[in-house]
A and B are shown apart, each in its own frame.
Chain A
Amino acid sequence: MDFELDQDQQMLAKTVGDFAKNESPVARFRQLRDTDIGYEPAAWRKMGELGWMGVPFAESVGGFGGSFVECALIIENLASTLVPEPYLASVVLGGMTLARAGNAAQHEAYLTPMIEGETTLALAYSEAQSRHDVSSVETTATPNGSGYKLSGEKVWVLNGHHADHLIVSAKAPGGVTLFVVPRDADGVNVMVAKTIDGQKAAFIRFEDVTVDGDSRLGEEGSGAAVLDRTMDYAAAAAVAEGVGITTTMLRMTVDYLGTREQFGVKIGSFQALQHRAVDMYAETELLRSISIASMVRADEDDTRTRRADISAAKYQLATGGIWVAQQSLQLHGGIGATDEHDIGLYFKRMYALNALFGDQEHHVARFASDPTFAEVAV
Chain B
Amino acid sequence: MDLTFSEEEEAFRQEVRAWIPEAMPEEMREKARGAGGFTPEDSATWHRILHEKGWAAPHWPKEVGGTGWDAARRFIFNEEMELAGAPQLSVFGLSMVAPLIISFGTDAQKKRFLPKILSGEEFWCQGYSEPGSGSDLASLRTTAEDAGDHFIVNGQKTWTSYAQYADWVFCLVRTDQSVKKQAGITFLLIDLKSPGVEVKPMLTLGHTPAFCDTFFDNVKVPKENVVGGINQGWTMAKALLGHERTLLAMIGPSRNVLQKVKRIAASKTVNGRPMLEDPLWRAKIARLEMRFRAHTMVSYRALADQQKGKMPGPESSILKVVGTKLIQELTELAMEVMGESSLTWYNEGLCPPVEESIGPYFCYERAATIYGGSNEIQRNVIAKMILQLPSS
Interface of A toward B, CB cutoff 8 Å: 1-6, 9, 69, 254, 257-258, 265-266, 268-271, 273-275, 277-279, 281-282, 285-290, 292-293, 296-297, 308-309, 311-313, 315-316, 319-320, 361, 363-365, 367-369, 373-374, 376-378
Contact = CB atoms under 8 A, between A and B. Distances in A.
Contact of A258 (B295, B307, B390): B390
Given A2-B304, A275-B383, A376 B294 contact: no
A364 B290 contact: yes
A265 B1 contact: no
In the A-B complex, the 10 residue pairs with the closest CB atoms: A289-B297, A274-B383, A368-B286, A290-B294, A368-B282, A312-B290, A269-B392, A282-B318, A268-B389, A285-B315
Contacts of A285: 298, 315, 318
Q: Which of B303, B376, B390 has the most chain A CB within a 10 Å cutoff? A: B390
B250 to A, nearest CB: 14
Contacts of A313: 294
B303 A1 contact: yes
B392 A278 contact: no
Contacts of B171: none
Given A265-B392, A269-B391, A290-B294, A281 B286 contact: no
Interface of B: 1-6, 72, 259, 262-263, 266, 276-277, 279, 282-283, 285-287, 289-291, 293-295, 297-298, 300-301, 303-305, 307-308, 315, 318, 321-322, 376, 378-380, 382-383, 386-392
Nearest to B293: A312
A2 B1 contact: yes
A192 B259 CA distance: 50
By secondary structure, the B interface counts as helix
A289 B293 CA distance: 9
Nearest to A268: B389
Q: Which of A271, A277, A288, A368 has the most chain B CB within a 10 Å cutoff? A: A368
29 contacts: A1-B2, A1-B300, A3-B304, A9-B1, A254-B387, A266-B390, A269-B390, A269-B391, A274-B383, A274-B389, A275-B379, A277-B387, A278-B321, A278-B383, A281-B382, A281-B387, A286-B291, A286-B322, A288-B315, A289-B294, A292-B297, A293-B293, A297-B3, A363-B290, A364-B287, A365-B279, A374-B276, A374-B277, A376-B266
Contacts of B294: 286-287, 289-290, 312-313, 316, 320
Q: Which of A1, A6, A266, A270 has the most chain B CB within a 10 Å cutoff? A: A1
B293 A309 contact: yes
A368 B392 CA distance: 45
Q: Which of B294, B389, B391, B392 has the most chain A CB within a 10 Å cutoff? A: B294
Given A271-B380, A277-B387, A367 B290 contact: yes
Nearest to A375: B262
Contacts of B290: 311-312, 315-316, 363-364, 367
Contact of B382 (A278, A309, A376, A377): A278
Nearest to A287: B294
Contacts of A257: 389-390
A278 B304 contact: no
Nearest to B300: A1
B2 A2 contact: yes
Contacts of A271: 380, 392
Contacts of B5: 1
Contacts of B277: 374
Contacts of B389: 254, 257-258, 268-269, 273-274, 277
Nearest to A1: B304
Nearest to A378: B263
Q: Which of B276, B290, B293, B391 has the most chain A CB within a 10 Å cutoff? A: B290
Nearest to B5: A1
Contacts of A316: 290-291, 294
Nearest to B301: A3
B321 A270 contact: no
A6 to B, nearest CB: 8
A285 to B, nearest CB: 4
B366 to A, nearest CB: 20
A365 B283 contact: yes
A289 B291 contact: no
B286 A277 contact: no
A278 B300 CA distance: 20
Contacts of A292: 1, 3, 297, 301
Contacts of A293: 3, 293, 297
B379 A278 contact: yes
Q: Which of A2, A3, A4, A365 has the most chain B CB within a 10 Å cutoff? A: A3
B276 A69 contact: no
A185 to B, nearest CB: 42
Nearest to B281: A368
Given A274-B379, A308-B293, A364-B290, A282 B321 contact: yes
Contacts of B305: 3
Contacts of B308: 4
Nearest to B287: A364
Contacts of B262: 374, 376
A376 B390 contact: no
A377 B263 contact: yes
B380 A1 contact: no
Contacts of A258: 388-390
Contacts of A254: 387-389
A373 B279 CA distance: 12
A289 B315 contact: yes
A369 B279 CA distance: 9
B293 A270 contact: no
